[in-house]
Amino acid sequence: MRWVRSGPHRELVLDWVFLVGVLLKALDGLVELVVGIPALFITKVQLIALAHALTSGELAEDPHDLIANLILHEAGKLGAAALVIGGIYLVVHGAVKVAIVAALFVGSTRIYPWAVGALTALLIVQIVDLTARFSVGVLLLSVLDAIIIALTLREWHHRRSLRDVVRARMPWLTRLRRSRSPAG
């Protein structure tokens, strides 16, 4: 791991972690929106039917499958209010993440303090959620958020926009875009 500590290699690794982390944040936000929006409108009966449809194949193979049985159990426990509250949480959380990534990509470095502030607020909510009830998934998302916050601060300090990092690490993407443009 000595090569990671050296200047150019370290910068390369950190740039790629930043790019992949931002991409994961965008995907995470999109998943939250895709799950959250239907959660606002689904009934408990529809949720249980969906849980049965998703787990029936696995339970046919192994009636004692832990994850499939957990999904069915949790779906049965959720009430209408929990679905709406969960849906609102997911929609807001997902929309903020997608907006941050979009702003980072199309904006300048002036967006970075706002992105850090919003991600920090979301991280605080996740940490409070973790203290109330532990979840490996929320823990992993919290670690990812903390890394993205640190790397966003790093990029802000270097005065590089997300586009600058993309151009530096994926020049083939810029060439591809130019070759597809009408003028090119």
Q: How confident is the model at residue 123, as a pLDDT?
A: 92
Instruction: Give 53's pLDDT tier (boundaries 50, 70, 90).
Output: very high
Neighbours of 32 (CB within 10 A): 23
Q: Is residue 53 part of a domain?
A: no
What is d(CA 52, CA 30) in angstroms, rounded to the nearest whole number? 24
Q: What's the mean pLDDT in 169-179?
A: 73
Q: How confident is the model at residue 60, as a pLDDT?
A: 93
Which range of residues forms the domain containing residue 160?
Answer: 2-35+88-179
Q: How confident is the model at residue 181, as a pLDDT?
A: 64
Domain count for the chain, please give it: 1
- Asked if residue 19 has pLDDT above 80, the reply is yes
Q: Is residue 54 part of a domain?
A: no
- Asked if residue 3 has pLDDT above 70, the reply is no
Express as a percent the part of the chain with pLDDT over 90.
30
Q: Is residue 29 part of a domain?
A: yes
Tens of pLDDT, residues 113-158: 888 998 899 899 889 989 998 888 889 889 988 998 998 898 888 8
Best CA proximity match to 72, nearest among 80, 63, 61: 63
Q: Is residue 11 part of a domain?
A: yes
Q: How confident is the model at residue 124, as a pLDDT?
A: 94
What is d(CA 165, CA 171) in angstroms, rounded to the nearest whole number? 10
What is d(CA 153, CA 162) in angstroms, rounded to the nearest whole number? 12
Neighbours of 131 (CB within 10 A): 8
Looking at beta carbons, which pairs linking 7-16 to residues 24 or more positions away fall under 8 Å?
Answer: 12/169, 14/151, 14/154, 15/165, 15/168, 15/169, 16/169
- CA angle, residues 149, 153, 159, in degrees to nearest 5: 145
Q: Is residue 92 part of a domain?
A: yes
The number of angstroms, rounded, from the C-alpha of 94 to the middle of its chain's C-alpha atoms is 8
Q: Is residue 60 part of a domain?
A: no
- Asked if residue 184 has pLDDT above 70, the reply is no
User: 59, 65 in Cβ contact below 8 A?
Assistant: yes
Q: How confident is the model at residue 127, as a pLDDT?
A: 93
